[in-house]
Amino acid sequence: NSKVIQTPRYLVKGQGQKAKMRCIPEKGHPVVFWYQQNKNNEFKFLINFQNQEVLQQIDMTEKRFSAECPSNSPCSLEIQSSEAGDSALYLCAGLDTEVFFGKGTRLTVV
């Protein structure tokens, strides 16, 4: 069983719509990462948090995404205005000593 819970598993949105996905990391994982995996299986780092604070994020995330990781609530990643190129598998991971991934949210933008 995955220690990191992601919802929903599948998400279908129209272009321009908001797309929001959630992640509940394992308790005791102080660092949370979001990755985007494209159809070529390439991983793109999006953003990471340590104890609710953003550590690093890429430019795309800064401009078109909003993300937060509040205490006592799920972490979330939201695309403000979905584009076709955002269709991908979005993976959340928690870092303790090693990295544990959730099962991902597969976003399709039609």
How many residues sit close enough to other proteins to count as binding (CB under 8 A)?
25
Give every strand in the sheet of 19-24, ordered side by side.
Answer: 5-7, 19-24, 75-79, 65-68
Closest by Cα among 92, 90, 108 to 24: 92
Residue with Cβ nearer other proteins (13 or 34): 34
Helix, strand or coil, per DSSP, at residue 91: strand
| 91: contact with other proteins by CB under 8 A | yes
| 104: contact with other proteins by CB under 8 A | yes
> Contact with other proteins (CB under 8 A): which of 45, 70, 80, 83?
45
Least Å distance between CB 55 and other proteins? 6
Q: Where do we find the tokens 């993300």?
A: 67
Per DSSP, helices labelled H in the chain are 59-64
> Contact with other proteins (CB under 8 A): which of 43, 62, 73, 80?
43
Residue with Cβ nearer other proteins (15 or 38): 38
Least Å distance between CB 69 and other proteins? 13
Rg (alpha carbons) of the chain, rounded to whole number: 13
